[in-house]
Amino acid sequence: MPKKSPTKRERDPAATRQRLIDATVRLMLQQGFSGTSVDQICKEAGMTKGGFFHHFENKEALGTAAVEWWGRMGTALYAEAWQDTSVDPLEQLHRMFDIMAGFTRRDDNPVVCMVGMMSQEMSATNPAFQAACEKELNLWTENVAKLLTAAKKRHKPKTKFDPVQTAWFLNSLWQGSMLIGKACRSRHLIRDNLKLARSYVDGLFQAN
């Protein structure tokens, strides 16, 4: 009896793995880690449980991979603001805020962060999730701190400030704004907070 020819899915394990991650992100953004089952993920991805466990040991491993994927995706989106070192670093920060505000105008997606959600739900009980979330939060903060440091060298500060401490403040404001915006069902609230954050950053420097 001839062997069954491998399907495209079987020949492309990377794409299959990504389909599971995509399904996990969609579901967990809506209902969290605990509210999402392996069966739901398989159904969303159009796969069997056997296929699931071929790629991931358990739901925790897939959830961690989803957090890591989210971090890479977010970094790529922010790269438009960060990557051109010839641009004034203060203008790069302005572009970053514009990108963040742009997330609130995409009606097809909720204004939530996989890293923030998993930090709240899982960090106290799952070391792997905690480490993955901390890594992504640190990366965002480090990139913003670099821009603030560069802006401090190029523009005369109006007041003393620590770029790393300020970057953590902005990260906290961004994550907290998404949380409150979700609870209050208000994208406008998030945009208002981002405007205040931008004004705060501008206020750290002397006007040209």
pTM of the complete model beyond 0.95? no
Rounded to whole angstroms, how far apart are CA atoms 122 and 134? 12
**Beta-bridge partner residues of 30:** none
Contact call for residues 201 and 93 (beta carbons, < 8 A): yes
> Which H or E run includes 197?
helix 187-202
Contact call for residues 170 and 142 (beta carbons, < 8 A): no
Contact call for residues 96 and 144 (beta carbons, < 8 A): yes
Those residues with Cβ within 8 angstroms of residue 7's Cβ, 6 or more apart along the chain or in another chain:
none
C-alpha 27: how far from its chain's center? 15
Whole-number pLDDT of residue 1: 36
* C-alpha distance from residue 130 to each of 57, 70, 87, 127 (Å): 18, 15, 35, 5
Residue indicated by tokens 């969609």: 26
C-alpha 72: how far from its chain's center? 8
Residue 18 Rama label (left phi>0; alpha psi -120 to 50; beta) = alpha
Sorted by where each starts, the structural domains of the chain and their CATH numbers stand as 1-56 (1.10.10.60), 67-202 (1.10.357.10)
Whole-number pLDDT of residue 154: 94
Q: 16: which 2 tokens?
A: 């299959």
Rounded to whole angstroms, how far apart are CA atoms 105 and 121? 26
Whole-number pLDDT of residue 135: 96
pLDDT in single tens digits along all 208 residues of the chain: 334 334 444 568 899 999 999 999 999 999 999 999 999 999 999 999 998 999 999 999 999 999 999 999 999 999 989 888 899 999 999 999 999 999 999 877 779 999 999 999 999 999 999 999 999 999 999 999 999 999 999 999 999 999 999 999 999 999 999 999 999 999 999 999 999 999 999 999 987 6
Whole-number pLDDT of residue 121: 94
